[in-house]
Structure 1
Amino acid sequence: MDFFRGKDIGYDPTAIVMVNLPTPDKVTESLRHRFMQIPGVEKVSFVSQAPTSNSNNNTNHRFDTRQEDEKWSVNTKPIDSHYLQTFGLKLVAGKNIPESDTTRAFMVNETYVKRLGGNLKPADVVGRNMTVWGRTAPIAGVVKDWNNLSFHNQIQPVVLFSDHNLYYTGALKVSTAHLPQTLAGIEQLWNEVYPDHLYDQTFLDQRIAQSYQTENLILNLIRVFSFIAIIIGCLGLYGLVSFMAAQKTKEIGVRKVLGASVAQILALFGKEFAKLVVLAFVVAAPLGWWVMSGWLEDYTYRISIGWTTFLVAIFTTAFIATLTVGWQSFRAATANPAKSLKSE
């Protein structure tokens, strides 16, 4: 989960408000200008979907003068010319698409170029034609890869192009200063433009986080049940050391009379519980590795389980076991041997 939260998805999704646009025919430069006049709104882009979305359209396509469509599909994203600037996506070759309501040029991502094969570089495809949805136009630029899906999946080949009829979402980059007033201004303008529809907005980073709801639920369950398991384990250890101390009362008394130190008595208990901790680790570690490795296989982008994970686990287990049995063991080791020998 730390990996999910920390991995760069290829752009900055923070402070981007996504609002639904029920009828694309009202999406005009005038509407963009009105949104930009709201205090706190810094950039505005009209799009079909956000760069990272669970709702995607894929279709066949043809590159340049090739006689047949490619054997693999491409993810299509209708956008306007403000898309790159609003989301912070980077060009690696070529330029942005021109400002237009119709498709006059395409942009593709780096993965698209790689899938074409032939040792092509991003600069090699700029200016060459491609055909998508029956539309043929030149490739204006190549965009640096970003995660267009969640970390469960590989980055797909993506093509970006203008299509005014498919702008169903407004993406507004906002300032976090005076955010409530900015959001209120956005809602007020939206209600003026779409009075017959219900207003709906989400923050892009929150929408992306929803893709990992299952993982967050699993993480919370693991935390709760691990805590319960540790408490039960500690109670069992405490009961076991109490039983052992009672069983070894005379033995401890004899050892002390014969000159055994407190440290030696503690070592007597320590050896017994060290065997149990090692045995538990030998059983649990391979099973834990097998279960978690299988779970991680569901993700294209993931961490690997290294030996340090198990090193931390064994030391943590030993530390908890020592805290649990330490006090009762110390009481048994420091008891008066005369009382120990007289006990029956």
Structure 2
Amino acid sequence: MLNSIIGRESEDFNIQAKAGDINYLGVFDLGLVAGRNFYEKDSVDEIIVNEDFVRKVGLSNPEEALNKQINISNGFIQGKIVGVVSDFHDRDFHSNINPVFIASHPRLFTEMAVKINPADAKAALEHIGNEWSSTFPDYVFEYDFLDDRVAELYETEQRFLSLIGVFSGMAILIGCLGIYGLILFFVVQKTKELGIRKVLGGSVGHLVGLVMQDFFKLIIIAGIIATPIAWYFMNRWLESFEYRTPLNWWVFALAVAIVMAITLITISYQAIKAAIANPVKSLRTE
């Protein structure tokens, strides 16, 4: 918790602590927008903050924060701000970016971040493990990869999307079977009408369109009903994220178009078969 910043009124708010040395910014590719990196020294009197920290304390720009003395957690860390980095995400997109400070304080160090070449990861990990065991023989060497940690943040969403994919596939399959059965029934009911239209000069394309138009009307009606319902539930889900993509109308239009394409593929065979059938046989059908 930040307690005070010299030269301004005292203010208390939660602040995220990061332990880092002179290599921290380089390892995590954090860019400075003002000031400089740490100098190589043992004393803890230099602090780097992020842009959200600057906004939180009411400063107009990052340069104004430089060389300001701050007091964090009732004197646990005191020092001057020497640099300001761009805002970065250290949590998932459900959470907003928080004010962050980075300091080289011994009591903050609990982990070590190492950037390695993925092509030589096995040898690098073996070397790091040997160095760890020789330096800290009483502590077990455990490691994980940053991309695995990021993936864990969205594990629930991944499972949710996997279930959505499975059930959507099942729904599409069942829908296609239903449409196929419906077209068979529809063609039988329209056999005489198609035969008469063909005798009167109806083209194959016209007859195929005649068969399909009723189905397309039903799909459009279903799309009109389903779109606001889908928009509502998708919007409610997206509201749980601080950072989210907008819902555009064309997404729903594309979904309806895809359903139409699937329907077209499903019924085209029977529609064409009915359109090219011998009209004599069609007219004899009871």
Range into which the TM-score falls when normalised by the shorter chain? over 0.9
One-letter amino acid matched to 1:182: A
Distance 1:151 1:262 in 2: 54
| Identical-residue share of aligned pairs (%) | 38
Q: Is the deviation greater in 164-173 or in 91-100?
A: 91-100
When the two chains are superposed, the root-mean-square deviation of aligned CA atoms in Å is 1.6
Q: Where do 1:25-174 residues align within 5 Å?
A: 59-68=1-10, 70-118=11-59, 120-133=60-73, 134=75, 135-174=77-116
Distance 2:16 2:263 in 1: 54
Q: Is the 8 A contact 2:47 2:79 kept in 1?
A: yes
Structure with more of its chain in strand, by fraction: 1
Q: Specify the alignment match of 1:320 in structure 2.
A: 262
Distance 2:112 2:130 in 1: 15
Distance 1:117 1:66 in 2: 9
Q: Aligned pair 1:217/2:159, yes or no? A: yes
One-letter amino acid matched to 2:82: A
Q: For residues 134-180 of structure 1, give each alpha carbon's deviation from its aligned partner in whole angstroms, at most 9, with x where no partner exists.
A: 14321111111111221111111111112112211011111223221
Q: Specify the alignment match of 2:188 in structure 1.
A: 246
One-letter amino acid matched to 1:89: L
Higher relative contact order (CA 8 A, sep 6+): 1
Structure with more of its chain in helix, by fraction: 2
Number of aligned residue pairs: give it: 284
Q: For residues 202-242 of structure 1, give each alpha carbon's deviation from its aligned partner in whole angstroms, at most 9, with x where no partner exists.
A: 11121112100111111111111111111111000000000
Q: Is the 8 A contact 1:93 1:142 kept in 2?
A: yes
Q: Is the 8 A contact 2:92 2:153 kept in 1?
A: yes
Which consecutive unaligned segments of at least 5 residues does structure 1 have? Answer: 1-58
Which consecutive unaligned segments of at least 5 residues does structure 2 have? Answer: none
Counterpart of 1:177 in 2: which secondary structure? helix
Offset at residue 196 of structure 1 (A): 3.8
Consecutive aligned runs of 4 or more in structure 1 exceeding 4 Å deviation: none
Distance 2:9 2:55 in 1: 19
Q: Is the 8 A contact 2:195 2:279 kept in 1?
A: yes
Distance 2:152 2:254 in 1: 31
One-letter amino acid matched to 1:81: I
Q: Is the 8 A contact 1:61 1:73 kept in 2?
A: no
Q: Is the deviation greater in 126-135 or in 189-198?
A: 189-198
Offset at residue 67 of structure 1 (A): 4.5
